[in-house]
Amino acid sequence: MMENIRWGILSTANIALTQVLPAIQRSENGKVLAIASESGKAKKAAEEYNIPKAYDSYEALLRDPEIDAVYIPLPNHLHKKWVMEAARSGKHILCEKPAALTHEETKEMINTCGEHGVTFMEAFMYQFHPQHQRVREIIQSGEIGDVKLMRSSFSFYLDDRETNIRVAKEKGGGSLYDVGCYSIHAIRNILGAEPVEVSVQGVIDPERKVDLSAFGYLKFENGIQASFDCSFDMAFRHEYEVVGTKGKIHVPRAFRTDVDGGEGLVIVQTEEGERTEQHYGDIYELQVSHFAQAILENKEPIYRVDNTLQNMRVIDWCYQSMEQKEPVAVLR
């Protein structure tokens, strides 16, 4: 039985080199065996990060029989192609969010992974921070009463718009794909519910035709309302708030606790007063360790593929509403 997972990294993308690759190296059940780049940067990255193998093509890395799993941080429009290639090569796959550009693309990817017996997980790393389980526990305890509203925001100001793939429409650019997907994911998973109506307005870049900002409203079957905003045109914020009949919970460091040394805050306000709980977690290491352990134990990750599919379905509805400039009623 394997003691650890041997990883290959497809691309020298910034998130791979600065976050996920070091997290695998910090983990106890994985090691980075190879990195590939089609831009000729693999050898330099391998030397810098002490990686044994470097490949000048993704295909060559996928042919390596010693690789157990791959991490795919490629631009959004390339996820489908390389997830399916990796699956056909028998590699387990951790793929950056969003999983693909549509629900149908994601379904095709996941079906291919199933056909080839490999594990797939979308890389929503934030969800592994313990603060979110604590929020669910507080909600379930009844301390804030019945939940009526959830709000979530994720934004940052994007400077390099001339060259950044986040504003390239043909590569799956846009604020909703890039950061809005986190708020949609958090709202669905914290509330444990699915929307029955979606309404989204976007601020579209007239030249690049991508959403620079999006403002969304989700209505749930149980009567809970939710809203989110995401943007490349606002200051850095990453937070959510859950409001109940007796109090509220504010999570001001919802999605990027790594920028605060792994410290998350859960601020609870009720009629009895206010308290702030501190919770710590290394989100990237927690993510890669969980995924590797699921492979080693032949178990499904806690973030299941049906959850990924539903998140992509909601993103589809959001873009549909944005384009049609009207709410989308979801048939159940």
Residue type at 275 in one-letter notation: R
Task: Return the SS3 of 295.
Answer: helix
Residue 1 pLDDT: 56
Return averaged pLDDT per consecutive 10 residues of the chain, 332 residues in all.
89 96 97 96 97 98 98 98 98 98 98 98 98 98 98 96 93 98 98 97 96 98 95 98 98 98 98 97 98 97 98 98 95 64
Residue 34 pLDDT: 98
Residue 330 pLDDT: 87
Residue 3 pLDDT: 85
Q: What is the DSSP letter of 125?
A: G
Q: Beta-strand (E) ranges in the chain?
A: 5-10, 30-36, 53-55, 69-72, 92-96, 120-123, 147-157, 195-204, 211-220, 225-231, 233-244, 247-251, 263-270, 273-280, 328-329
Residue 268 pLDDT: 98
